[in-house]
Amino acid sequence: MMLDSFHLKDKVAIVTGCNTGLGQAMAIGLAEAGCKVVGVNRTPAIETAEQMHAGGHSFIDYRADLLKQDDIPGIIQQTIDAFGRIDILVNNAGIIRREDALDFSEQNWDDVMNINSKTAFFMSQAVAKQFIEQGHGGKIINIASMLSFQGGIRVSSYTASKSALMGITRAMANEWAKFNINVNAIAPGYMETNNTTALREDEDRNAAILERIPAQRWGLPRDIAGPCVFLASDAANYINGYTIAVDGGWLAR
Ligand code: NAD
């Protein structure tokens, strides 16, 4: 009986940026837990679609550029047309730009802030309106970062965007908990994805990072799937506005 509260049978989830990496692992995890999934991607999510179809899961791959917010109404409408409702939103799509703070360009500031926090906020707002119309609440999961808690180096806009994301996770949770909408976040630690290829290929940085992680390994995309399914499920109904670190103990040091 306990495990029933983790089940997501016939729930409808939107996952942004699921053609690779953490988004792909969360989309597949949600599908394996019972969800129908709408992926939102700038380029076709070919590998994700193949894995979804091989597993017999319902998956739609919607094309949108989340650097701007114009496509949001279309994403909502497409999901309703296909599956009739929305139950879960995972704001995962994100980018990082590296530049010294002294030279940091406005373009690298605006692009990162746009996709990582502004789009995440307005996607959440649009989905929350749909949740309220449906009358049964819903779950919003934002993908934050260690840099929601720490400063980082040469990544000013990323730190700003992910700190903002943790803040608006709390702000939205405060306003929408009364509608049975749970807004929470996951802060991944150092995970093996495209995003971190350069870091992993730099021998000195790689060794320094591994030395500091109590679990003594980089995280795998699959490590994020379980916490995502949990936060999307009824088992997490009384968790509001919290950011869970999935980091092999990095923040505990
Ligand atoms: P990734 O680069 O492999 O994936 C990023 C995803 O965002 C891709 O699906 C990409 O297509 C999508 N995306 C980028 N720009 C887009 C745009 N303009 N429109 C639509 N989609 C767009 O990186 P990842 O490591 O899987 O990162 C996923 C999320 O996790 C990001 O928000 C990232 O900041 C966060 N994160 C990653 C790590 C890590 O160690 N990998 C750590 C902390 C947080």
Here the tokens at position 37 are 């999934």
Here the tokens at position 90 are 């995972």
Which residue has its alpha carbon closest to ligand 1 atom 4?
21
Query: Within a domain: residue 253?
Result: no
Question: Which ranges of the chain does DSSP label H, i.e. alpha helix?
Answer: 21-32, 46-54, 72-83, 106-113, 120-134, 156-176, 197-201, 203-212, 222-232
pLDDT digits (tens, 9 = 90+) for 117-139: 999 999 999 999 999 999 999 99
Instruction: Calculate how far, in angstroms, residue 92's C-alpha sits from the geometric centre of ligand 1.
Output: 6
Query: Within a domain: residue 200?
Result: yes
The ligand 1 atom at the shortest distance from the C-alpha of residue 191 is: 40
Query: Within a domain: residue 119?
Result: yes
Taking residues 4-18, what's their average pLDDT?
97
Q: What CATH number should be reported for the domain holding residue 64? A: 3.40.50.720
Confidence of residue 195 (pLDDT cuts 50, 70, 90): confident
* 26 neighbors 15 (Cβ within 8 angstroms): yes
- Percentage of residues in the chain with pLDDT exceeding 90? 98
How are beta strands 59-63 and 36-41 bridged, if at all? parallel
Active site (annotated) includes residue 242? no
pLDDT digits (tens, 9 = 90+) for 152-184: 999 999 999 999 999 999 999 999 999 999 999
Query: Within a domain: residue 11?
Result: yes
User: Structural domain tally of the chain?
Assistant: 1
Query: Within a domain: residue 252?
Result: no
Query: Within a domain: residue 124?
Result: yes
pLDDT beyond 90 at 47: yes
pLDDT digits (tens, 9 = 90+) for 63-84: 999 999 999 999 999 999 999 9
Distances, alpha carbon 137 to alpha carbons 83, 87, 119, in Å: 17, 8, 21
Query: Within a domain: residue 103?
Result: yes
Query: Within a domain: residue 147?
Result: yes
The predicted pLDDT at position 132 comes to 98
Whether 248 is in the pocket of ligand 1, judged by its Cβ within 6 Å, is no
Q: Which of 62, 158, 190, 242 is catalytic?
A: 158
The predicted pLDDT at position 1 comes to 87
* 27 neighbors 51 (Cβ within 8 angstroms): no
Distances, alpha carbon 133 to alpha carbons 10, 11, 156, in Å: 19, 16, 38
pLDDT beyond 90 at 191: yes
Confidence of residue 240 (pLDDT cuts 50, 70, 90): very high
- Percentage of residues in the chain with pLDDT exceeding 70? 100
**Domain, as residue range, for 189:** 2-245
